[in-house]
A and B are shown apart, each in its own frame.
Chain A
Amino acid sequence: MARKDKLTLAQKEQRTAYKLLLPALLILAAVAFYPLFQVFYTSLTDKVFASGTDEAPKFIGIENYKSLLGLTIQELPPIVDETTGDPLIDESTGMTMYERAIRVLPRSPVRYREWFQFSFFGRRYVVGARDPEFMKAIWNTLVFTVISVFLETILGLGVALVVNSNFKGKGIMRATMLVPWAVITVVSARIWEWMLQPTRAGLFNMVLSRLGLGDGGLSFLSMPTLQMPTLIAVDVWKTTPFMALLILAGLQLIPKELYEAGRVDGANRLRQFFAITMPLLKPTLAVALIFRTLDALRVFDVFQVLMGNRMYSMASYNYYQLIGNRNMGLASAVGVIIFFIIGIFAVLYMRLMGVDKE
């Protein structure tokens, strides 16, 4: 009898829990699941943005995904001298000359465009993509994410350790540290654009030419070798404070007694850092890294303001397909792919950092 009563009590509690969760689930369904489903559905159609008509878009299956992700590898045959039968050698570089990729890549039933070429065991290959610009956008975003998050973590840790120590004006220091983070990205990107101007009217060209570097006309935003480092620098400037803030919160959770005990045991500062600070900071670092990585993978504003149509991130490529080309179906597919890439990163982090076990 008593046993039965206990069960109903547990059941009752469970029911109450579900009832209490219901509003949250409903809100989540309305603001997250419904739009997500909508995007996923649109990605299977050929919907046109701002078409001005009420015609329903056609359902085209996974055609959008195929045209975004299709890849092929083809071997490039060397160009052969017709009289001797030997491969031609470029006289200026001393390299074997190969057929142009555009001649080798298939054109029907669907066309592949050149993404990049590589050599392997003395043979030359070309990787063709149905949409090399999207492939480049993914690559750019990954490079951007890995390098900028790495630098932000290192610098953020340094900044956090400094402002965590006791010194005069600590409060002011912590407040000013946050200024770059507080400025709206579009605004700060515009400010950077002015500083990065390709003439001596821009701060960087001015300073560099005073130092005897460059000719005062370095074009940070259009030279292929300078574009990515510039973008990463802007992002590191902006987001290091955020990283520092999160890490600072983690540092303050570490009890002072542990350091005292460490000192008593004769551990020096370095030993203390690796034996006390780092292990106890790990959960905080994991959260900070996840936050930043997922955020960096969605990067839009810095790319859009500083690069426009010259270089894309995944999100700015999405914008270009949606607004520039009005391909709402294709843009939705891009959105879904971004969602999955971010999902993969999230799961990887959870596994590697062991966050889910705590």
Chain B
Amino acid sequence: MKKVLLTLMVALFALVAVSETVITVAAGAVGQELELTKKAAERYMEIHPDVTVRVLDTPDMVQDRLGLYLQFLEARSPEIDVYQVDVIWPGDLAQHFVDLYEYNADKVVSMHFPAIVENNTVDGKLVAIPWFTDAGLLYYRTDLLEKYGLNPPTTWDELEEAAKIIQEGERKTNPDFWGFVWQGNAYEGLTCDALEWLASNDAGTIISPDKKITIANANAVEILEKVAGWVGTISPSGVLTFAEEDARAVWQTGNAAFMRNWPYAYSLSKGEDSAVAGKFNVSPLPAGKSGNGAATLGGWQLSVSKYSKNPEIAADFALFMAGYEMQKMRAVEGSFNPTIEALYADYEVLEANPFFGSLYYVFTNAVARPSTATAPRYNEVSTLFFKAVHSVLSGTADAQNALEELALDLEDLTGFEVVWGF
């Protein structure tokens, strides 16, 4: 009897082992990202006990993550089924992903923001389902503004002034205090920050949607020279090595008056272990010459690899992750902006993130990086751009020379026409 039972059990195990499908998702780990992705994966496994979802942790820096993905894709590896894809990549990577319309995405796509769906559609194929969207925000310390009798800045000049005053005052008791922290390392994040400076100063968006190189102009020189002046004065000189998490580390320990960052930092900043909990708020980024602030459009999508062994299940998992229930969970617990319009009217979401309502227009009017116009060479364009900006900020090149050289480099790379604006 015992023997029979044992045989049965072994057979059963074998069956389970055979029928069990393993799906691997390559996901980010910035802030609470990894934690929330694992939570969603567990939820999926509860509903689908025959599927195992593995979550692969990937590098924080966007360039490094792309490098890792490209190595899997060049090898046509089936090892990763679902990729977390940046808003700028669908054009560059489209040929490696399945068309999600063939896997029931047509039923859910209408509830997502149409602009992002369009961004993720290449040659009529939906290569990625929107997962969360992002826009640059200005985080500011309400307690310090009040202490020094200041208002939240609406222009870069005001921000510079306020940062100076607060830094000077706070330095008396805290020698590590800085006015303004942001992302200045030579990586994609600097492209995002710099695009905000440019757009807010009427200096264009590097390459215009109608494929003209517009970066060589006097407004761009002006704003870059201004920002270069911040390094070592209101911002630490180390800001030139900062990515998102480095800026957040300074901010969340209470050592900065202002920070430029994405919405994910909101729920972390109000967490229990945060020194700034209850002492901060967010606003749109300040304006330059144009009179309006600008926020770079960020955000991440989920794509299913063409080389996956189980594309149906992988697509089902991707759609589940990007569905209403999971986006709501991520919005409430991690302040990740949903791509589903209806969630911006959801009571629980708004209670956790009041700024989702008050800054709704920032998210819907964010400035896109020129990834569509330059696909499939966006990453090269962006790399040339952030390196030029970094050389200006670190003082190894002057702004006009750097931008002129950049415009010629971009001309060589893309073949587009340069519009000279000096």
Chain A residues close to B by CB (< 8 Å): 49-53, 100, 102, 107, 111, 113-114, 197-201, 216-219, 221-224, 308-310, 319-320, 323-326
Contact = CB atoms under 8 A, between A and B. Distances in A.
Given A49-B74, A325-B379, A219 B237 contact: yes
Per DSSP, are chain A's interface residues mostly helix, strand or loop, or mixed?
A: loop
B271 to A, nearest CB: 19
A35 to B, nearest CB: 16
B101 to A, nearest CB: 19
A326 B70 contact: yes
Give 10 closest A-B pairs by Cβ, nearest first: A198-B238, A52-B95, A50-B74, A222-B240, A219-B238, A323-B67, A309-B186, A50-B70, A219-B237, A50-B73
Contacts of A201: 249
Interface string B380-422: 1001001100100011100001001100110010000000000
A308 B185 contact: yes
Contacts of A323: 66-67, 70-71
Per DSSP, are chain B's interface residues mostly helix, strand or loop, or mixed?
A: helix
A221 B412 CA distance: 31
A49 B380 CA distance: 13
Given A52-B73, A323-B70, A199 B250 contact: yes
Interface in B132-178: 175-176
A203 to B, nearest CB: 14
A64 to B, nearest CB: 15
B358 interface: no
B83 interface: no
A216 B95 CA distance: 48
Interface residues of B, number: 40
Contacts of A197: 238
A11 B281 CA distance: 88
Contacts of A325: 379-380, 383
Contacts of B186: 308-310
B290 interface: no
Nearest to A49: B74
A65 B293 CA distance: 45
Given A197-B238, A219-B237, A221-B241, A309 B73 contact: no
B32 interface: no
A309 B387 contact: yes
Contacts of B185: 308, 310
B206 to A, nearest CB: 17
A272 B249 CA distance: 57
A107 B241 CA distance: 33
B44 to A, nearest CB: 28
Given A52-B95, A219-B241, A323-B67, A111 B412 contact: yes
A257 to B, nearest CB: 56
Contacts of A50: 70-71, 73-74, 96
Given A224-B394, A224-B396, A198 B70 contact: no
A324 B379 contact: yes
Contacts of B187: 308-309
A48 to B, nearest CB: 9
A324 B63 CA distance: 7
7 contacts: A52-B96, A198-B236, A222-B237, A223-B237, A308-B187, A309-B387, A324-B383
Nearest to A310: B186
B250 A111 contact: no
